[in-house]
Amino acid sequence: MKRTLAAVLALILVFAFSSAAFADSGSLSNQEVRGGASQIIAWGTRSEPNTMDLRVTSITWNGQSNFLFRGYDWETGLDCTYAKRVTGTGYFQATYTSNATEIDMYASISSTSTSDYLVFSGAYYL
Amino acid sequence: MKSPKRKVNAYRYTATVIILSTICLFCCCSHFNDDDLAYKATTIPSCISDKSQSMKECSVLFNADVIIPETEEYSIIEAKMRFFSDNDILYYIELLTGLNGNLYSSWELSKTDWRRRLLWAKQDNDDEKTPSYIIAYLQEQIEQAPLFVDKYTQTIKEFPYNALARGYLETGSSDVAMFTFIRGGNTFTYLRNYDDLIMGKGLLESNQNSIENVNMQEYYDWLIPDKPDISYEEAYSLSQHYLQAMGIDLELYYSEPCTVVRQRAKKSIGWVFTFTRNYSGLQAQFFDGQWVYINPDAPPAVGAPWNQEVCIMAFDKDGLCKLWWQGAASTSKCESVDLEEFGDIKSSINQQLYQMYGTHKNGVGVGLDIVVEKIELGICLIATNNLVHYGEYIPTWYVNYKYKWRSDKDTDNLWSAGQIMFSGVDGRYIEPRVLDRTICSLKE
């Protein structure tokens, strides 16, 4: 009985690990976005057939504005979504425009000074 | 000389004529009001331009064209998810390539393959020079590629069931076609060559505005499509052939020139077509690459049962480069319905935008200016009764708006575009671009 229970628990652990390992998702905790060129905030192998998902749960603006997100095809350096101006918390989803497999999620603010920044938290799913 | 009695009779006669005329006129007006189409034509304006709400945090203005396509009736159409069998998938592959062999499960190029591509890219091509970015990219790939590559084929049944799969097929001229599909699902895509880049003019032009791309300006300029190498008519005619052969009963929604970078080395210019469901003159809308925003505090009433139904095809002078078919559905019986009063829809738009954006403030504590620019009647697919394989196409108001921070200047690059949808039947805020189960999870 104990052996069976242990085997079941082990299987559950394996499945839990597998789903975490294959899901190209993650959390973004107190992520800084600085002024200047846009920055990669998440990357991974595309797992959804055709959408990039982003959940923003908090934003500390620090006087900044024009908080932009954009999906890039890592291999070609070309956009695979349009840019999205984020104005508040919530759920954001974009369809991919190409068959990109390795995805970078970029973010930027309007300031050109790298000492300017905002902070946000949330999660992504590529 | 008229007698007083005759005078009274004349007055009575005149009064009777006036009363009868008034009654007739009233009856005629009532008759027109009973006529549904005439009623709608008089109650839905062709444009609205008024300041509907003025609040400290957020303002919503209407400066919108209202577009109602001609239709005989408004209907709810039952839709059922299609399931592609292995035979369907094999038939599509044979139709698109003329081949029916087993598929490779992965594909990688050797050094020799990349060297051949580099030579091709360096060949003089008309009057246009290949950008230095492409040459550098191909040289880097030669460095990194293996000398030899092992490849394995597998039958369709060896691909996973009910999961996104990818297969490759050599089709000659160094092209390796790629297919993505879900066995037992409703998605099927084809690329003439697996790593060709195919991008529409709209997205490429939006690249030009992004500050992070300044180092690649030459490359982006080169990518912007000019004159297509294939005529619109020829490309459209080819698209109709494939739609018919694959049993895709969708109609043209949108077309634009596109750039195809073949095997990452050579450019051709073609046309890309987007096909969506059209019923009785009302069409579903689809914009590739655009973002959807949902505020979980003001969520839509319902979402989609499966991914939006759309077929995208791109063509250049050598024919079909890409076919992207997702969310395939079959439709059946229809039920005639009345439209919700337009005045109520306008009020819902105003209320919903305020609920979505009313609390948004930027770093200097300023809210948003929102301008509603277009309100267009179409159809969209939504889930019904939490079913995942069945849904309904319903009359839908597609509302396009733009927004910017009030503190920003009124210049084009500081405005962003957004779109929301409302049921034409009951005025509910709906979201056909996001799965209903995702929306349910946001509400938890």
pLDDT tens digits along A110-124: 898 999 999 999 999
Give the residue from chain B lying closest to A86, CA to CA: B293
- Whether residues A37 and B407 touch (CB distance < 8 A) is answered with no
Which residues are CB-contacts of B129 (< 8 A; sequence separation ≥ 6)? none
> A22 to chain B nearest CA, in Å?
13
B145 in contact with chain A, both atoms CB, cutoff 8 A: no
Cα-based distances in Å from B27 to A124, B22, B33, B79, B335? 62, 9, 10, 42, 31
Q: What is the pLDDT of residue A10?
A: 44
User: What average pLDDT does this structure show over B104-109?
Assistant: 92
More confident residue, A30 or B25: A30
Interface test with A, best of B207, B291, B412 (most A CBs within 10 A): B291
- Residue B430 belongs to some domain of the structure: yes
Q: What is the DSSP secondary-structure string of B223-251?
A: HS--S-SS-HHHHHHHHHHHHHHHT---E
Q: What is the pLDDT of residue B305?
A: 97
pLDDT digits (tens, 9 = 90+) for B164-204: 899 999 998 789 999 999 999 999 999 999 989 999 998 88
- Residue B31 belongs to some domain of the structure: no
Query: Would you give the DSSP letter of residue B361?
Result: -
B173 in contact with chain A, both atoms CB, cutoff 8 A: no
- Residue B384 belongs to some domain of the structure: yes
Question: What are the chain B neighbours of A61 within 8 Å (beta carbons)?
Answer: 361-363
Nearest-angstrom CA–CA distance, B234 and B317: 9
Of the candidates B189, B289, B295, the beta carbon closest to that of A95 is on B289
Q: What is the pLDDT of residue B156?
A: 94
Question: What are the chain B neighbours of A88 within 8 Å (beta carbons)?
Answer: 295, 357, 359-360
Extract the tokens encoding B377.
């009647």
Nearest-angstrom CA–CA distance, B310 and B322: 13
Q: What is the pLDDT of residue B36?
A: 42
- Which B positions 234-263 lie with beta carbon below 8 A of chain A? none
Coil, helix or strand for A35?
Answer: coil
Q: What is the pLDDT of residue A13?
A: 37
- Residue A54 belongs to some domain of the structure: yes
- Which B positions 192-221 lie with beta carbon below 8 A of chain A? 194, 197-200, 203, 206-207, 210-212, 216
- Residue A96 belongs to some domain of the structure: yes
A84 in contact with chain B, both atoms CB, cutoff 8 A: yes
B359 in contact with chain A, both atoms CB, cutoff 8 A: yes
Look up the CATH number of the domain holding residue A82: 2.60.120
Say what the alpha-carbon torsion angle B318, B321, B327, B331 is, to the nearest 10 degrees. Answer: 0
Q: What is the pLDDT of residue A77?
A: 76
- Residue A102 belongs to some domain of the structure: yes
Of the candidates A65, A80, A92, the beta carbon closest to that of B363 is on A65
pLDDT(B63) > 70: yes
| Total domains present in chain B | 1
- Residue A118 belongs to some domain of the structure: yes
pLDDT digits (tens, 9 = 90+) for A45-91: 887 667 889 999 999 999 998 899 989 888 877 888 888 999 999 99
Phi/psi of residue B422, nearest 5 degrees: -130, 140
pLDDT(A11) > 60: no
Amino acid, res. B12: R
Which residues are CB-contacts of B222 (< 8 A; sequence separation ≥ 6)? B128, B130, B131, B267
Interface test with A, best of B322, B354, B362 (most A CBs within 10 A): B362
Q: pLDDT band for B46, please (50, 70, 90 cuts).
A: confident
Question: What are the chain B neighbours of A79 within 8 Å (beta carbons)?
Answer: 203, 206-207, 210, 289
| Total domains present in chain A | 1
Task: Please check whether residue B62 is in contact with residue B345, taking contact to mean a CB–CB distance below 8 angstroms.
Answer: no
Look up the CATH number of the domain holding residue B405: 2.40.128
pLDDT(B57) > 90: no
| Out of B33-37, B161-165, B262-266, B275-279, least confident range | B33-37
Q: Which structural domain range is residue A58 located in?
A: 25-125
Query: Would you give the DSSP letter of residue B87?
Result: H
- Residue A2 belongs to some domain of the structure: no
Interface test with B, best of A18, A97, A117, A124 (most B CBs within 10 A): A97
- Residue A6 belongs to some domain of the structure: no
Q: What is the pLDDT of residue B174?
A: 85
pLDDT(A18) > 80: no
Nearest-angstrom CA–CA distance, B207 and B347: 36
pLDDT digits (tens, 9 = 90+) for B342-385: 888 889 999 999 999 999 999 888 999 999 999 999 999 999 98
Question: What are the chain B neighbours of A90 within 8 Å (beta carbons)?
Answer: 293-296, 356
Q: What is the pLDDT of residue B443?
A: 84
- Residue A79 belongs to some domain of the structure: yes
Residue of B182, B167, B195, B174 lying closest to B322 (CA atoms): B195
- Residue B387 belongs to some domain of the structure: yes
Q: Select, from the ranges B68-77, B108-117, B248-257, B328-337, the one with the highest average predicted confidence (pLDDT).
A: B248-257
Q: What is the DSSP secondary-structure string of B158-218?
A: GSPBTSEEEEEEEEETTEEEEEEEEBTSS-EEEESSTT-EEEEHHHHHHHHT-GGGGGGHH
User: What average pLDDT does this structure show over B74-83?
Assistant: 96
Indicate if ipTM > 0.90: no
Amino acid, res. A118: L
Q: What is the pLDDT of residue B132?
A: 87
Q: Which helix (H) or strand (E) holds B95?
A: helix B86-97
Q: Which helix (H) or strand (E) holds A25?
A: strand A25-34
- Residue B375 belongs to some domain of the structure: yes
Q: What share of chain A is helix, strand, coil (3-state, %, to 5)?
A: 15, 50, 35
- Percent of chain B exceeding pLDDT 90 equals 66
Query: Would you give the DSSP letter of residue B327?
Result: S
- Residue B191 belongs to some domain of the structure: no
- Residue B12 belongs to some domain of the structure: no
Nearest-angstrom CA–CA distance, B402 and B411: 12
Nearest-angstrom CA–CA distance, B140 and B122: 15
pLDDT digits (tens, 9 = 90+) for B127-137: 678 888 889 99
Extract the tokens encoding B132.
């230095």
pLDDT(B153) > 80: yes
Question: Taking CA B36 as the corner, what is the angle to CA B32 and CA B40, rounded to the nearest 5 degrees?
Answer: 95
Q: Which structural domain range is residue B66 located in?
A: 44-80+333-443
Q: pLDDT band for A25, please (50, 70, 90 cuts).
A: confident
- Residue A89 belongs to some domain of the structure: yes
Question: Taking CA A92 as the corner, what is the angle to CA A61 and CA A109, rounded to the nearest 5 degrees?
Answer: 30
- Residue B432 belongs to some domain of the structure: yes
